[in-house]
Amino acid sequence: MPLVTTKEMFKKAYEGGYAIGAFNINNMEILQGVLRAAKAKKSPVILQCSTGAIKYAGPQMLKAMVDAAVKEAGVDVALHLDHGPDIEAVKMVIDAGFTSVMFDGSHYDYEENVAKTKEVVEYAHARGVVVEAELGVLAGVEDDVEAAEHVYTEPAQAVDFVKRTGCDSLAIAIGTSHGAFKFPPDFKPQLKFDILEEIQKQLPGFPIVLHGASAVDPDAVATCNQYGGAIKDAKGIPEEMLRKASSMAVCKINMDTDLRLAMTAAIRKVFGDTPAEFDPRKYLGAGRDAVQKVVEYKIDNILGSTDAMNK
Ligand SMILES: [Zn+2]
C-alpha cells in the first residue's frame, strides 16, 4: 500500500473515539518494530521523523526504508515531519515524498506564527500534503526543541489560528511535556481537559494533536539502570488521561521517549546477560522486539486504534 495522508485517518479516528499513534523513527529496527505492531493490531499508524532523525539518516534513506517497509505493512501509514522549523525543512521532506508535515511556529509571536504557518499550508496543500501546526508551548526537551515552561493553548486563539491558517490539525499545550524527564517522581501530572473541551466545542470535527505523551515506563527505566544505565526517575503522562483525550478531539498522540527507553533497556539487557555477544543483530533485534511490544501496548491501551483497519 502506498503512503497516505492523515486526512481520512483523522476523520475515522475522530468519529470512532480513538487516536492514531505517531512514533518517531531513526533507523530500520525502530521502523520495523513500529510497523510490525501496527500490522499485528490492524491499526493505522503515523511514522514521523524529526529534523534530528533526518540529519542522522538522511531524508532519502528514511523515505526509501519506509517505502520498502510499508509494502508489507498492510495498514494505512502516513510519513510525517515532526517539528519542522522552517519552510525549507518542509520543502525538503515534501520533495522526498513525505505525506504530512508539522510546522512548529509556536516559539514565534502569534501573528508571525499565523503568517509562517499559512505559507507552509499553501505550499503543502498545493502538493497534496497535510499540515500540523502548533499553538502554545510544551515544556521539556526533544531533539532540537526545548522550552522551560508550559504556555497553555487559549481556545479562542486556537479557533482564530485554525481559521486563518487553514492547517489540517493543531498541536495544543494542555500539560503534556517533551522528553524523558517530564515531571519529578512525586508530581501529579494533570491534563487540562477544560481547554480541550472548549476547543472541541468551538472547532467541532477538527483533529487535535498531543505531543510529549510518553508514560516514561518505570520498568524500562529500572531495567536500563539495572544494566549499567544512569537514567533519572521521572513521571510521565498517566495512561487514563491519554485514553480519555483519545476519545475526545485528540486524533494523534506522539510518543517517542517510551520507544527509546524500551529499546535501550532491551539492548542493555542483552549486553548485561551475554557479555560475549557481539553480533549486532542479537541486540538490535532485541531492541526491535521491544519497540514492537511497546507500540502494541499503546495501540490497545492508550490509543484505542486496535482493529481500526477492519472498521
Ligand atoms: Zn513534539
Query: pLDDT digits over 172-221, tens only?
Result: 999 998 888 878 888 888 899 999 999 999 999 999 999 999 999 999 99
Closest among 68, 56, 60 to 27, alpha carbons compared: 56
For 33-55, the pLDDT digits (tens) are 999 999 999 999 999 999 999 99
pLDDT mean over 159-163:
98
Cα–Cα distance for residue pair 110/122, rounded to 1 Å: 18
Which residues have CB atoms below 5 A from the ion given as ligand 1? 211
For 83-133, the pLDDT digits (tens) are 999 999 999 999 999 999 999 999 899 999 999 999 999 999 999 999 999
Residue 144 pLDDT greater than 70, yes or no = no
Cβ-contact 254, 102 below 8 angstroms: no
- CA–centroid distance, 21 to ligand 1, in Å, is 13
- CA–centroid distance, 92 to ligand 1, in Å, is 19
Name the active-site residue from 67, 76, 82, 300: 82
Residue 146 pLDDT greater than 80, yes or no = no
User: Band of the pLDDT at 235, cuts 50, 70, 90?
Assistant: confident
Q: Look up the pTM and report it.
A: 0.95
- CA–centroid distance, 82 to ligand 1, in Å, is 7
- CA–centroid distance, 83 to ligand 1, in Å, is 6
Residue type, 87: I
Residue 233 pLDDT greater than 80, yes or no = yes
Closest among 7, 5, 13 to 303, alpha carbons compared: 13
pLDDT mean over 148-157:
86
Cell of 227: 544494566
- CA–centroid distance, 69 to ligand 1, in Å, is 24
- CA–centroid distance, 86 to ligand 1, in Å, is 15
Active site residue 82: yes
Closest among 150, 202, 208, 213 to 178, alpha carbons compared: 213
The pLDDT value recorded for residue 195 is: 96
Residue 300 pLDDT greater than 90, yes or no = yes
pLDDT mean over 62-76:
95
- CA–centroid distance, 265 to ligand 1, in Å, is 23
The pLDDT value recorded for residue 145 is: 65
User: What Cα–Cα distance (Å) separates residue 229 from each residue in 125, 186, 232, 233, 269?
Assistant: 45, 22, 9, 12, 10
Query: How many alpha carbons lie under 13 Å from residue 261 in its C-beta half-sphere?
Result: 26
Could you please report the per-residue DSSP string of the chain?
Answer: -----SHHHHHHHHHHT--EEEEE--SHHHHHHHHHHHHHTT--EEEEEEHHHHHHH-HHHHHHHHHHHHHTT-S-EEEEEEEE-SHHHHHHHHHHT-SEEEE--TTS-HHHHHHHHHHHHHHHHTTT-EEEEEESB--EEETTEEESS-BPPPHHHHHHHHHHH--SEEEE-SS--BSS--B-TT------HHHHHHHHHHSTT--EEE-S-----HHHHHHHHHTT--PPP-B---HHHHHHHHHTTEEEEE--HHHHHHHHHHHHHHHHH-TT---HHHHHHHHHHHHHHHHHHHIIIII--TTGGG-
Query: How many alpha carbons lie under 13 Å from residue 66 in its C-beta half-sphere?
Result: 30
Residue 11 pLDDT greater than 80, yes or no = yes
Residue 151 pLDDT greater than 90, yes or no = no
pLDDT mean over 230-246:
92
pLDDT mean over 267-272:
98
pLDDT mean over 134-148:
73
Cβ-contact 246, 303 below 8 angstroms: yes
Rounded to 10 degrees, the C-alpha dihedral 8/258/84/64 comes to -70
The pLDDT value recorded for residue 184 is: 83
Residue 164 pLDDT greater than 90, yes or no = yes
User: Band of the pLDDT at 147, cuts 50, 70, 90?
Assistant: low
- CA–centroid distance, 173 to ligand 1, in Å, is 10
